[in-house]
């Protein structure tokens, strides 16, 4: 089973992959409509909103949590390196 390089979501079914293409390393939630991967800014915004919606954190805490999670993912490690 693959994990999305941009959000960490497990991907098994073709419908979970960008454009249902199982050769992609990122999921349908991290893809733009044309199938390209979202930018760091796009993903941070959507992940922050997801955390606010699902965990009830305020926007500042949610963005901090999203940055921390994203910093550990292959797609963003270089850009979000802490320290």
Measured distance CA(59)–CA(48) in Å, rounded: 7
Portion of the chain with pLDDT greater than 90, in percent: 94
**Residues 6 or more apart from 40 whose CB is under 8 A from it?**
70, 76, 79, 80
Q: Is the pLDDT of residue 76 over 50?
A: yes
> What average pLDDT does the segment 51-56 reach?
96
**Where are the domains positioned within the chain?**
2-70
34-48 residue pLDDT tens: 999 999 999 999 999
Single pTM value for the model = 0.88
């Amino acid at each position: 089973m693959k994990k999305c390089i941009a959000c960490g979501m497990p991907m098994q079914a073709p419908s979970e992959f960008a454009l249902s293409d199982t050769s992609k390393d990122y999921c349908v939630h991290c893809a733009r409509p044309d199938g390209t991967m979202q930018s760091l800014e796009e993903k941070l915004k959507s992940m922050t909103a997801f955390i606010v919606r699902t965990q009830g954190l305020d926007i500042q805490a949610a963005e901090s949590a999203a940055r921390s999670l994203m910093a550990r993912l292959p797609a963003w490690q270089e850009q979000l390196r802490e320290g």
